[in-house]
């Protein structure tokens, strides 16, 4: 039987009381349906801090509807339509298999929640969490723009020294902004991607002489192929001047930024090594200079001399959310904390591709600082659907004694899809509740 369940915004208070019963709603966490085989449901558990156990029960979210007070317009939360209750029958390191009698409406990409059965215990008095230290980094927030920004960068597109901010919206719009008075961004140029192409991210740099080119990797929804469109300012109009059969992403900060490309699919959905994009014989090509991405996407990755000044290290966001630094001795250093929670997900055939927020790296080689995104979720339900994210923050980390350690944190008011790095700051676009976005500059 399919039923509706209304999750109230006061869930955090109710959850404390509910923990005294044996069937704890506090343990709900998100999973993604990655395969449906008859009554078997395969669930991605790679993002779980605590994996489900055999015998855990779950439900698949079939649909959701916003509940609003018609008089005040106040958002009261979501009404969720769920499947029948299923049971976890097998647990693997990165996925779990569940049995569900009725799979009507259950498809790949749907979100699921599970409930962990725990023994009853008396309610404990919650101890206050220690206060988060206030960051001393300077922060400038620009006036909101009327779009949901899922990618951004900075480059000279309209004129030398313009330092334009370039954004990619969830509506497939590329916009080139200039900075105005009173921290207002003014749109100067725009370009709408073709309807059969879904924009994944945006990068920009002067690969050839003159103003910067804009590189937009896209998923061709008709052929399920990833390519990158090259846009240039031609007499005040953004024009497509090239196409690369690669996934393209910028790495680096300011004038040191380079554009890297990787073959989208080598083994299944695993991308290949990265090669620098250059302009040769009147066209953009991927050069012979490369580095090993270990089959990770360049989104959520970087390449910089973190451990020593003599050799670059590859940094990426692992599937379980930790940052992983490939050391020069062949081993890895990881962050204790989890990152990479982002609503930016793309379905390719039967697989869900996670494009994690960019990891920025800057500073003195061998003594570098990383900047990574963490998006927090609403209490009660963890999900990779955008609507379940609440706010974001940018953590700054240093490599110390074999581990990546957080040294500073800047909290923002909205959710962060991606970041960029300039000569002096980290750029982030915080998506606010009214589906506008504010560009934020955080000093290095």
Q: Are 335 and 403 in contact (CB under 8 A)?
A: yes
Least confident of 266-270, 315-319, 345-349, 379-383: 379-383
The reply to whether 328 falls in a domain is: yes
Q: pLDDT per residue over 169-180, tens digit each?
A: 999 999 999 999
The reply to whether 132 falls in a domain is: no
Q: How many domains does the chain have?
A: 2
Domain end residue (candidates: 49, 81, 115): 115
Same domain (yes/no): 147, 77: no
Please give the Cα distance from 323 to 148 (Å, whole number): 26
Which pLDDT belongs to residue 26?
A: 37
The reply to whether 131 falls in a domain is: no
pLDDT confidence bin for 67, thresholds 50/70/90: confident
Least confident of 3-7, 31-35, 78-82, 162-166: 3-7
Please give the Cα distance from 9 to 96 (Å, whole number): 29
Q: pLDDT per residue over 392-405, tens digit each?
A: 999 999 999 889 99
The reply to whether 195 falls in a domain is: yes
Q: pLDDT per residue over 299-309, tens digit each?
A: 999 999 999 99
Which pLDDT belongs to residue 74?
A: 75
pLDDT confidence bin for 28, thresholds 50/70/90: very low
Which pLDDT belongs to residue 128?
A: 53
Please give the Cα distance from 36 to 303 (Å, whole number): 37
What is the pLDDT averaged over residues 98-118? 82
Predicted model pTM: 0.71
Q: pLDDT per residue over 145-170, tens digit each?
A: 999 999 999 999 999 999 999 999 99
What is the pLDDT averaged over residues 31-43? 91
Domain end residue (candidates: 99, 115, 131): 115
Same domain (yes/no): 60, 177: no
The reply to whether 120 falls in a domain is: no
Same domain (yes/no): 75, 158: no
pLDDT confidence bin for 132, thresholds 50/70/90: low
Q: 64 pLDDT exceeds 70?
A: yes
Greater model confidence, 108 or 384:
108
What's 204's domain CATH number? 2.130.10
The reply to whether 71 falls in a domain is: yes
Same domain (yes/no): 174, 73: no
What's 11's domain CATH number? 2.40.10.410
The reply to whether 133 falls in a domain is: no
Greater model confidence, 72 or 388:
72
Q: pLDDT per residue over 328-364, tens digit each?
A: 999 999 998 888 766 667 776 666 777 889 999 999 9
Same domain (yes/no): 273, 414: yes
Same domain (yes/no): 286, 361: yes
Same domain (yes/no): 31, 71: yes
Domain that holds residue 65: 3-115
Q: 23 pLDDT exceeds 80?
A: no
Please give the Cα distance from 416 to 264 (Å, whole number): 24
Least confident of 14-23, 213-222, 386-395: 14-23
Which pLDDT belongs to residue 126?
A: 52
Same domain (yes/no): 110, 147: no
333: closest CA among 321, 320, 324? 324
Phi, psi angles (nearest 5°) of residue 183: 55, 40
Same domain (yes/no): 185, 241: yes
What is the pLDDT averaged over residues 50-64? 84
Same domain (yes/no): 73, 163: no
Percent of the chain with pLDDT over 70: 82
> Secondary structure of the chain in the HEC alphabet?
CCEEEEECCCHHHHHHHHCCCCECHHHCEEEEEEEEECCEEEEECCCCCCCCCCCCEEEEEEEEEEEECCCCCCEEEEEEEECCCEEEEEECCCEEEEECCCCCCCCCCCEEEEECECCCCCCCCCCCCCCCCCCCCCEEECCCECCCEEEEEEECCCCCCCCEEEEEECCCEEEEEEECHHHCEEEEEEEECCCCEEECCCEEECCCCCCCEEEEEEEECCCCEEEEEEEEEECCEEEEEEEECCEEEEECCHHHCEEEEECCCCECCECCCEEEEEEECCEEEEEEEEECCCCCCCCCEEEECCCCCCCCEEEEECCCCCEEEECCCCCEEEECCCCCCCCCEEEECCEEEECCCCCEEECCCCCCEEEEEEEEECCCCCCCCHHHEEEEEEEEEEEECCEEEEEEEEECCCEEEEEEECCCEEEEEEECCCCCEEEEEEEC
Same domain (yes/no): 185, 99: no
The reply to whether 123 falls in a domain is: no
Same domain (yes/no): 186, 97: no
């Amino acid at each position: 039987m399919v039923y509706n369940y209304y999750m109230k915004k006061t869930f955090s208070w109710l959850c404390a009381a509910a923990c005294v019963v044996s069937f704890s709603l506090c343990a709900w966490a998100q999973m993604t349906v990655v395969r449906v085989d008859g009554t078997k449901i395969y669930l991605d558990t790679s993002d779980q801090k605590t994996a489900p156990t055999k015998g855990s029960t779950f439900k698949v979210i079939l649909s959701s509807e916003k509940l609003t007070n018609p008089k005040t317009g106040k958002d009261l939360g979501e009404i969720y339509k769920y499947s029948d209750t299923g049971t976890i029958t097998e647990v693997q390191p990165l996925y779990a298999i569940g049995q569900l009698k009725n799979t009507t409406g259950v498809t790949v990409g749907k979100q699921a929640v599970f409930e962990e059965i725990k023994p009853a215990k008396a309610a404990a008095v919650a101890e206050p969490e220690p206060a988060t230290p206030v960051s001393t980094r300077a922060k400038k927030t620009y006036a909101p723009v009327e779009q949901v920004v899922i990618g951004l960068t900075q480059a000279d597109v309209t004129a030398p020294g313009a330092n334009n901010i370039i954004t990619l919206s969830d509506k497939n719009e590329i916009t080139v902004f200039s900075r105005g008075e009173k921290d207002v961004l003014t749109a100067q140029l725009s370009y709408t991607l073709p309807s059969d192409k879904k924009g994944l991210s945006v990068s920009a740099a002067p690969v050839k002489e003159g103003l910067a080119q804009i590189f937009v990797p896209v998923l061709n929804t008709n052929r399920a192929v990833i390519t990158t469109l090259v846009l240039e300012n031609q007499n005040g109009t953004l024009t497509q001047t090239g196409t690369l059969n690669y996934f393209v992403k910028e790495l680096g900060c300011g004038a040191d930024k380079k554009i890297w490309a990787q073959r989208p699919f080598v083994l299944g959905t695993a991308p290949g090594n990265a090669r620098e994009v250059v302009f040769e014989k009147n066209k953009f090509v991927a050069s012979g200079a490369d580095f090993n991405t270990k089959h990770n996407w360049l989104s959520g990755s970087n390449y910089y001399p973190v451990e020593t000044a003599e050799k670059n290290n590859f940094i990426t966001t692992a599937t379980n959310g930790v940052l992983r630094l490939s050391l020069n001795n062949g081993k890895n250093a990881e962050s204790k904390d989890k990152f990479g929670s982002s609503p930016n997900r793309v379905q390719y055939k039967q697989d869900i591709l996670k494009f994690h927020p960019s990891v920025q790296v800057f500073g003195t080689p061998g003594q570098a600082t990383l900047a990574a995104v963490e998006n927090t979720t609403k209490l009660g339900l963890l999900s990779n659907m955008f609507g379940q994210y609440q706010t974001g923050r940018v953590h700054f980390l240093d490599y110390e004694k074999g581990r990546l350690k957080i040294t500073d944190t800047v909290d923002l008011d909205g959710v962060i899809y991606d970041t960029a790095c300039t000569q002096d700051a980290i750029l982030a676009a915080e998506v606010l509740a009214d589906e506008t976005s504010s560009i934020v500059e955080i000093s290095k």
